[in-house]
Amino acid sequence: MNRLLWLLLPLLADAVEWRSWAEGTAEAAQRGRNILAALVRDDCHYCHDMERAVFDDAEMSRWVEGCFVPVKINLSRQSVPFEARVPMTPTFVILNPQGHVIKTVPGSWNREDFTALTEAACTKE
């Protein structure tokens, strides 16, 4: 199993590095950067599809991490730690560094559409 992990590490290095809620809010406050919270479920095939098609892409990963503090919240295991309406999964919530919701983007998207839907909330350093 260890050998397989070492073979996969280069492939995983280009994926978005998701933080926990606690890590993400601390980093956002320190850096003055908006949070991109991905609300997903274990059994959501749209969540898995979007992870592979969008967030595992090296270019998209650089863009997301250059604009936001990415946080993943798995609703199969935890509750939403902020006030939000979650009509479906995946749902993406953009919050300011103080944790107030700026925008909610429900649904699964391709890279271009997701970028277009979220770029106005991008906070680059």
> What average pLDDT does this structure show over 19-34?
97
* pTM as predicted: 0.87
If you average pLDDT over every residue of the chain, what do you get?
A: 90
pLDDT confidence tier of residue 10, bands split at 50, 70 and 90: very low
pLDDT of residue 32: 95
% pLDDT > 90, the chain: 84
pLDDT bin (cut points 50, 70, 90) of residue 86 is: very high
**pLDDT at residue 9 tops 70:** no
**Closest by CA position to 122, among listed 107, 108, 106, 102:** 102
Q: How far apart, in Å, are the Cα atoms of 23 and each of 15, 39, 46, 95, 106? A: 18, 16, 25, 14, 23
Average pLDDT over residues 101-107: 96
Task: Evaluate if residue 61 carries a pLDDT over 80.
Answer: yes
Residue 125 clears pLDDT 70, i.e. is over it: no
Question: C-alpha dihedral over 35, 75, 47, 57, to 10 degrees?
Answer: 40
CA 100 from chain centre, in angstroms, equals 16
